[in-house]
Structure 1
Amino acid sequence: MNSEAVNYFRNRHGFDRAMKQMKDKWQSYGRSSGMVILKNPTEEESYDLGRFFGKTFSSSKEIRFSLSDFEKALKNTKYASLSLYDLLCEYYQEDLITNRTKRQKQKEQQQSVYEKTLADVSFCQDAYHWLKAMPMAAFRMARNPQTYVPCAKALSILQRQKDDIRLSVLAMEALGDPHGLDAERETGRIFLRLLQYCLHDKTEKLSAEMKLDLYIRMHIRPDAISSFTTMQGFHFVTKDGYHPAYEGFLQQNEYYLVSLSQLHSITTVIPVQQPVFILENQMVFSEIASRLPQASMICTSGQMKTASLLVIDMLAEENVSMFYSSDLDPEGVLMTERLLQRHPDLIHAWHMDASDYHKSMSEVEISQQRLHELDGVQSASLQQACQCILAKKRAGYQERLIDDMIDDMQRMMK
């Protein structure tokens, strides 16, 4: 009887749309509830449904009926022993379950996968605690949950290392693929998030330089030469003593570029003069360097590169006092904020208060979108600058502060 009923409804295409809606309604409510609405019914739909219900739908622009009405009409046919649920199951050749039950089953399956993954990474304590604290939505960011396992293996290998290790070597050992931890791959992206957890870094969107910084801080060598910093007035110390090339630059009173790869052999950075001055603006750095060749200075060249951060971290290890100055616009203030948070006791905002802003203010307007970037600035030493920028909506540029900065440096280096 079931097969006969199914064949009856399948062979009459006027029921096709109605059956689909009844299936959806049943899965939504878990019972024969809700309305079927067929807009602009075809002649076939009007004929088949009209005959089934014993009504005339030929001139109707819309056919409406409830699931309970359909089930009642079914009882008046030779298929009276069938419930609507049984009919739908036979019609679609599946056991219909409600959407709520589906979601619950999916949740249970996800929980099972999550618990298995937890067990699989338990050999690495940091990876285990990272996953344990991870919301399920974040856990699902991996298309394949097993991706977490080689990431945990890579971290475990890294934590056993006494020396720095190249990223490609680490990837080969953990995944059998030298490119397995590349940042463009899913495993590489997840590994970076795991490194962030180890360093208590909550940054949501990682720039290329931020990724390099994570690697360096976790003693991973990313084989990068594109990250560099410009410096003047420093001794570079290796395990064999002062680096002769940089001593030559000192003797010639010249500044120089230092790449991330070149910094690998450096154990200590010693400034010739203290404090150290860090400038974001290349032109300002060049002008001051030409007039104060004896000053110990670093130029970050705009957005902070990892090479600059590594040098700054090495100076911080020696408790060197540093003064950072940037253009007075949202991007400059945010870069300053990040540095102040990185080494709050050793790095100070320099020439970035209200008087400096008014002296350096330009006619360049700042969009409202960029101004919103200042909302999260917390450092007390930057609040005056933020208030001025928000009020005037103009950028302040360091070129107008060069003479003041040089006077200040001469006084501070005595």
Structure 2
Amino acid sequence: MNTNIEKCVNIFKKDKRYDIIFEKFKKKISNTDKIEGSILIKNPTKDIRRAIEGLLYFKNFKSQDLHINVDDFKRVLVELGYEDIDLKELTNRYFGKVILSNEEKKKRENIVIENFFSKLREKFENSLLKEEFIKQYIELVRENYFDKGKLKEQEEELQKLYYCGMAIYDRFIAETPIKIAFLGEKITKDPHYFDKGIKGNLLVKLLKIFNNIEVDENLSETEKAQEVFYQSKIEVNTISNYVTAFGIRLFTKAGEIKAYSEFIKDKFLYNIPLEHLKNVVKVETQCSSVFIVENEMVFVRLYEHFREKKDISLICTSGQLRLASLVLIDLLSKENCQIYYSGDIDPEGIGILNRVIEKSGNRVIPWRVNLETYSKYEKNENPISEISLKKLDSIKDTRFADLILAMKDIQRACYQESFIKELINDIENL
């Protein structure tokens, strides 16, 4: 150890007023890897000014700020008997660590990053994955996901990315869906590995990018995940994820699902879980139009009114668009029937309707969700929040333009229950 430089360090460390000088030196090393030129200390305290003026006694600081020439500081070191001391080394010793330039930090960081991806590649090379997939996946992670902050937990991060890559490859080459618990068991030996949390969210994010899946940003995180998984041949929550219907027949490749035809025969409404819908290839309705409503009580009211009077087909989305609802609507849009959708006239209701239209096209007609209905019927007394109103800005369908302007002005919601008579009349007259 160079005892001479240690003595010099101790001289300065004994007086905390010199900290500011070495902080400036540290910044110079970070920026240019050199300590040269001058440093500026803006508006120092009287105590710091007194210490620096005492150190550089031959300087006359006239301005409020202190401009210190690095060569002047070196001359002070010589006069103190430390002529052979390098300022970078002195600064490193002062802080007790090697100060790296930003360029050097970046070089070292890049080396760590490259080592990280080399290790990730090594993990995949022992698997049966095709080289082109490994290359594509690693580039995907590098460009769209990689978090430098995660390098501190490198082994854990490598394992997560490895398992996600294996899961994506499994679904990439698969022809049939798999339930997420069995995917977890197959890839990690833990059926709950991809269920939720950081690991599940990471798989969703990487699947979304890899498969170029677009999802509505207004959806909840759970709904986004369900759609990404569904499009990636991964089944999640296929039992409790259901849609309520009346008067719609379901067919698989083996023929009609008789359970639902019996419900229709007895004029009962029924829930259709996603588990049943995944094998449905065709649907049939009791008439040329299908009526979809958001509110469960409105659905029941329509069902009770028409069940003995008229053969109709109804769907209830229960205030949200579960994946089961989207799958059934998609099946209906492929048939030669007209779909009428009615929901609450509020930002969330219009947003759901807009999403259905975007996915199903001209087959879906807004049903009583218009300015005429909004103006005619009673509004909720509680104002719509600014956050909720902001959601209307993402709706570009011109059919809602006048309604959106009125809603932003009045800032009140109009619920389906208010215009239930209009909905009944519309069905009776079709």
Aligned position for 1:13? 14
Amino acid at match of 2:4: E
- Please, which moves more after superposition, 346-355 or 358-367? 358-367
Counterpart residue number, 1:159: 172
In structure 2, how many angstroms separate the alpha carbons of the residues matched to 1:126 and 1:206? 31
User: 1:349 touches 1:382 (CA, 8 Å); kept in 2?
Assistant: no
Tell me the distance in 1 between the aligned counterparts of 2:222 and 2:144.
25
- C-alpha deviation, 1:267, in angstroms: 4.2
Contact 2:9 2:93 in 1 (8 A): no
1:3 — aligned with what? Answer: 3
Instruction: Name which of structure 1's ranges 8-17 and 212-221 shifts more when overlaid on structure 2.
Output: 8-17
2:68 to 66, 69, 73: 66
Counterpart among 374, 388, 392 of residue 370 in structure 1: 388
Task: Please state whether the residue corresponding to 1:178 is helix, strand or coil.
Answer: coil
Question: Residues 137 and 169 from structure 1, CA distance in 2 versus in 1: closer, same or farther, beyond 3 angstroms?
Answer: closer
CA distance in 2, matches of 1:258, 1:90: 72
Give the stretch that moved more between structures: 87-96 or 384-393. 87-96
Corresponding residue to 1:352 among 353, 365, 369:
369
Q: 1:140 aligns with which of 147, 157, 162?
A: 147
Please state how far the C-alpha of 1:213 moved relative to its aligned partner. 2.5
What are the Cα deviations for residues 160-218 of structure 1, in whole angstroms up to 9, with x where unaligned? 222221112222222333222223133x2122123323153155575212322322233
Structure 2 equivalent of residue 59 of structure 1: none
1:234-245 equivalent positions in 2, closer than 5 A: 234-245=248-259
Query: Could you tell me how far 1:25 is from its partner in structure 2?
Result: 2.7
Partners in 2 of 1:402 and 1:108 — Cα distance?
Answer: 66
Gaps of 5+ in 1: 57-61
In structure 1, the residue corresponding to 2:429 is in which secondary structure?
Answer: helix
Specify the alignment match of 1:189 in structure 2: 201
Aligned to 2:230: 216
Corresponding letter in the other structure for 2:342: S
1:401 is matched with: 419
Q: Give 1:408 shift.
A: 1.8
Q: Are residues 222 and 99 of structure 1, via their aligned partners in 2, closer, same or farther at CA, if it must alter by over 3 Å?
A: same
Cα separation, 1, equivalents of 2:410 and 2:138? 46
One-letter code aligned to 1:329 = D
- Tell me, what secondary structure is at the counterpart of 2:243? strand
Shift of residue 90 of structure 1?
A: 4.0
Structure 1 window deviating more from structure 2 (162-171 vs 144-153): it is 144-153
Say if 1:166 and 1:222, in contact at 8 Å, map to a contact too. yes
Aligned to 1:177: 190
The whole-number CA distance in structure 2 between the counterparts of 1:390 and 1:220 is 40
Query: How far does residue 87 in structure 1 lie from its aligned partner after superposition?
Result: 1.7
2:328 paired residue number: 311
Question: What number of residue pairs does the alignment pair up?
Answer: 403
Q: Match of 2:130?
A: 123
Tell me how far apart the structure 2 counterparts of residues 128 and 142 of structure 1 sit (CA, whole Å).
23
Partner of 2:39: 34
TM-score computed with the length of structure 2 as normaliser: 0.80
Q: Note the C-alpha offset of 1:297.
A: 0.7
Q: Which moved more, 1:85-94 or 1:294-303?
A: 85-94
Q: 1:251 is matched by which residue type in structure 2?
A: K
Q: Do the aligned partners of residues 151 and 137 (structure 1) sit closer, same or farther apart at CA in structure 2, a change above 3 Å counting?
A: closer
Q: Give the Cα–Cα distance (whole angstroms) in 2 for the partners of residues 375 and 134 of structure 1.
A: 32
Given the superposition, is the C-alpha separation of residues 134 and 170 from structure 1 closer, same or farther in structure 2, using an over 3 Å criterion? closer
Q: Which consecutive unaligned segments of at least 5 residues does structure 2 have?
A: none
* Counterpart Cα distance in 2 of 1:249 and 1:116: 57
Aligned equivalents of 1:142, 1:284: Cα separation in 2: 51
Q: Which amino acid aligns with 2:294?
A: E
Change (3 A) 1:377 1:125: farther
Q: String of CA shifts for 1:1-35, please: whole Å, max 9, x gaps.
A: 94222134236521573575245333344324424
Correspondence 1:101 to 2:104: yes
**Deviation of the 1:331 alpha carbon:** 0.6
Q: Aligned residues: percent identity?
A: 23
Question: What is the CA distance between 1:80 and its match in structure 2?
Answer: 0.8
SS of alignment partner, residue 240 of structure 2: coil
The 1:222/1:82 distance shift into structure 2, 3 A limit, reads same
Inter-partner Cα distance in structure 1 for 2:294 and 2:131: 40
TM-score by length of 1: 0.83
Q: 1 CA distance for matches of 2:354 and 2:114? A: 40
CA distance in 2, matches of 1:80, 1:344: 81
RMSD over aligned Cα, in angstroms?
Answer: 3.5
Question: What is the CA–CA distance in structure 2 between the aligned matches of 1:202 and 1:101, rounded to whole Å?
Answer: 41
